[in-house]
């Protein structure tokens, strides 16, 4: 993964020893906001912003889905990094379009020469001021949901005021136990840390599956951001997390409600076009040499995603 320290790149993995073998994710470093206030430095303008993503990354995937759902594809350009993340961190298969950089960390030091921290995606870039707006996926998701409504005429709301408390509650449950839970399980370096995360992960999946037995979506009968935040982990689960991260108590295919729910979301609009199992499997199995030293990428599994989902 690597990180920048005072603007210099260092090829260092996450420090699990100081956390008793547990994986601890670092916070994002850029947290600006796009808004329509007269004095706001980042205004919602067509063509002004550029989104950098990995098709393998579930956090980046959220933003790609919202970009599609909210009609932003013509207004916010996208560059996709290579699925291979090795000693140089995220890299580009071809020089990226704004500056011709070949490594993601070059954009971070372009925005802030002495930056220290992880070089993560998604990352939203402002072409007008040549800086990073934000690299926190949950905030980019919220900006895409509402900041460009007047520009696009798309007022679909995935974080409506009357449901925000329930959405936040689900996000606060899903993120540590499922979204990040698969990483805490897969990146654990002690047996006790692994088993603790493993148990929490599957207890959470059991709870969500039970909830979906009597509810169409996480928050009643309306698709919200909470569903999309969960979806990007579910869609990767059987292909990667079961084997590579040792999350192998059950597959999503073994959960009657989660499986149908995941298929329903996959089949909405152009969401399927944002899913690349080629990138997903290549990234995890090839990049994480500490977990998979042979870098052999599996051919399977054969996932059932396009047949009727049977939900309503």
Residue that the structure tokens 């706001």 belong to? 40
Dist. CA 311–CA 299, nearest whole Å: 30
Contacts of 180 (CB under 8 A, 6+ apart): 25
238-290 pLDDT, tens digit per residue, is 999 999 999 999 999 999 999 999 999 999 999 999 999 999 999 999 999 99
pTM, two decimal places: 0.94
DSSP string, 296-309: PPP-------SS--
Looking at residues 98-116, what average pLDDT do you find? 96
pLDDT score recorded for residue 25 = 45
pLDDT at 312: 76
245 closest CA partner among 188, 286, 167, 175? 188
pLDDT range class, residue 13, cuts 50, 70, 90: low
The mean per-residue pLDDT over the stretch 19-39 comes to 70
Q: Where in the sequence numbering do the catalytic residues fall? A: 57, 183
Query: For helices 256-266 and 225-236, what crossing angle results, to 10°?
Result: 110
Q: Are 105 and 2 in contact (CB under 8 A)?
A: yes
Q: Are 148 and 75 in contact (CB under 8 A)?
A: yes
pLDDT digits (tens, 9 = 90+) for 204-226: 999 999 999 999 999 989 999 99
DSSP assigned state of 125: E
Q: Is the pLDDT of residue 131 over 80?
A: yes
Give the pLDDT score at 21. 46
Distance, CA of 21 to chain centre: 23
Name the token pair of 82.
């290579």
Query: Quick one: 18 exposed, middle or buried, by C-beta within 10 A (0-12, 13-18, 19+)?
Result: exposed
Give the chain's domains with CATH numbers.
Answer: 3-152 (3.40.30.10), 161-269 (1.20.1050.10)
> What pLDDT, on a 0 to 100 scale, did the predictor assign at position 11?
87
Beta carbons of 21 and 189 less than 8 angstroms apart: yes
For the beta carbon of residue 164, count every other beta carbon within 10 angstroms.
13
Q: Which of 102, 119, 225 is nearest to 163 (CA)?
A: 225
pLDDT of residue 205: 98
Contact 49, 32 (CB under 8 A): no
Res. 20 pLDDT band, cuts 50 70 90: low
């Amino acid at each position: 993964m690597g990180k920048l320290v005072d603007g210099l790149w260092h090829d260092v993995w996450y420090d699990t020893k100081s956390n008793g073998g547990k994986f601890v994710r670092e916070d994002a470093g850029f947290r600006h906001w796009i808004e329509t206030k007269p004095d706001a430095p980042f205004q919602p303008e067509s063509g002004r912003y550029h989104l950098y993503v990995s098709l393998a990354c579930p956090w980046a995937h959220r933003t790609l889905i919202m970009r599609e759902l909210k009609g932003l594809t013509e207004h916010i350009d996208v560059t996709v990094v290579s699925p291979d993340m090795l000693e140089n961190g995220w890299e580009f298969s071809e020089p990226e379009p704004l500056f011709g950089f070949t490594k993601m960390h070059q954009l971070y030091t372009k925005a802030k020469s002495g930056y220290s921290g992880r070089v993560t995606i998604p990352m939203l870039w402002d072409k007008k001021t040549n800086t990073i707006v934000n690299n926190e996926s949950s905030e980019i998701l919220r900006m895409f949901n509402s900041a460009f409504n007047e520009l696009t005429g798309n007022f679909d709301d995935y974080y409506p005021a009357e449901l925000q408390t329930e959405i936040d509650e689900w996000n606060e449950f899903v993120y540590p136990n499922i979204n990040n839970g698969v990483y805490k399980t897969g990146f654990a370096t002690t047996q006790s840390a692994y088993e603790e995360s493993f148990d929490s992960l599957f207890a959470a999946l059991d709870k969500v599956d039970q909830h979906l037995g009597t509810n169409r979506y996480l928050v009643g009968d309306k698709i919200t951001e909470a569903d999309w935040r969960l979806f990007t982990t579910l869609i990767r689960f059987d292909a990667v997390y079961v084997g590579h991260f040792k999350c192998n108590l059950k597959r999503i295919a073994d959960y009657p409600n989660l499986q149908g729910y995941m298929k329903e979301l996959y089949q909405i609009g152009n969401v399927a076009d944002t899913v690349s199992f080629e990138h997903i499997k290549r990234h995890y199995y090839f990049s994480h040499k500490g977990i998979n030293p042979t870098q052999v990428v599996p051919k399977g599994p054969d996932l059932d995603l396009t047949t009727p989902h049977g939900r309503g």
